[in-house]
Amino acid sequence: MATQLHTIAAGSQAQPRRGLVLLGRLGLVCRGILYILIGALAVDLARGHTGASASQQGAVHTVASQPFGHWLLIAFAAGVFGYAAWRAVQAASGHELESGRRRGAVDRLSAAASAVAYLGIFGITLGVLLGSGASGGGLERFTRWAMGVSPWLVGGVGIGLLAVALVQAVKGLRRSFMKELDRGRMSAQAQCWVGRLGLIGYCARAAVFALVGYGMLQAAHNYRPAQAKGLDGSLQGVLNGRFGPALVAVVAAGLIAFGLESLIESRYRRL
């Protein structure tokens, strides 16, 4: 009898766990789509085209402008929320959902930050769905508020973003992201492609975090919130510099590569 009760209890716990795993995989698909769209918008930026900003807001508006855009946004919002929920559970429990593998303090902190970030993207998507729009300048508004508290807060966020950039670069260069995949189900060719896409993609993400973090430090040092730029503003700054279009195109290609890696990861990731 006790064995039967234990089996029933284990089965009841497995149901929500499987649901979270499904949400996690759907979220990885949406993350891939998001980065591919941002990368494509950055390509347009490098070519001198003006239009939707190369940012999360621009990507969401791009989805909304497609045929059946309203329904696509609903699916996108569900996926992004699922990804945020999955990362929040990782941060709270400290374990992987399927394998039960213990996660370290750095991994849990990263999961928590990721959950907050994707909840923000969910909020942007929800705003577009409800017709309230998703205006840019969010980072500058945050910086103005934080500057009223203390410039050290703004500088701390900038340093945190630079630290994230370093972690992303190391993860890409060492290809440690491959440890998160079930390579037993992958062919040698698939592993090779994922390794290359991840290397390029994580390094591109590192460049983006570094650009935004540097802008935050400049804003704190000069006490000028306007110097804190989001992704689109940071890429605009690079575009105006020497070899700007080529550098933006390289970052754009890297973001697209990360999006493709995320799509593959949605199938093979050990959640």
Q: List, for residues 211-270, the tens digit of each pLDDT value.
A: 988 988 988 888 888 778 877 778 888 888 788 889 989 999 999 999 999 999 988 887
Percent of the chain predicted with pLDDT > 90: 19
CA distance 115 to 224: 29
Question: Identity (one letter) of the amino acid at 71?
Answer: W
* Structural domain boundaries enclosing 68: 2-133+151-268
Per the structure, how many domains does the chain have? 1
| Cβ atoms 245, 46 nearer than 8 A | yes
Is residue 140, in this structure, part of any structural domain at all?
A: no
Q: List, for residues 112-163, the tens digit of each pLDDT value.
A: 888 888 888 888 788 777 775 544 556 677 788 888 888 898 889 889 889 9
pLDDT of residue 1: 45
| Cβ atoms 242, 236 nearer than 8 A | no
Is residue 237, in this structure, part of any structural domain at all?
A: yes
Q: Cα–Cα distances in Å, from 17 out to 75, 76, 90, 156, 183? A: 21, 21, 12, 36, 22
Q: List, for residues 171-202, the tens digit of each pLDDT value.
A: 999 999 998 888 888 888 889 999 999 999 99
Is residue 33, in this structure, part of any structural domain at all?
A: yes
Is residue 20, in this structure, part of any structural domain at all?
A: yes
Is residue 253, in this structure, part of any structural domain at all?
A: yes
With a CB cutoff of 8 Å and minimum separation 6, the contacts of 89 are 20, 97
Is residue 139, in this structure, part of any structural domain at all?
A: no
Is residue 30, in this structure, part of any structural domain at all?
A: yes
With a CB cutoff of 8 Å and minimum separation 6, the contacts of 263 are 28, 29, 32, 33
Is residue 38, in this structure, part of any structural domain at all?
A: yes
CA distance 31 to 25: 10
Kindly state the average pLDDT of the residues 98-119: 74
pLDDT of residue 63: 77
Helix ranges (H only) for 94-104 are: none
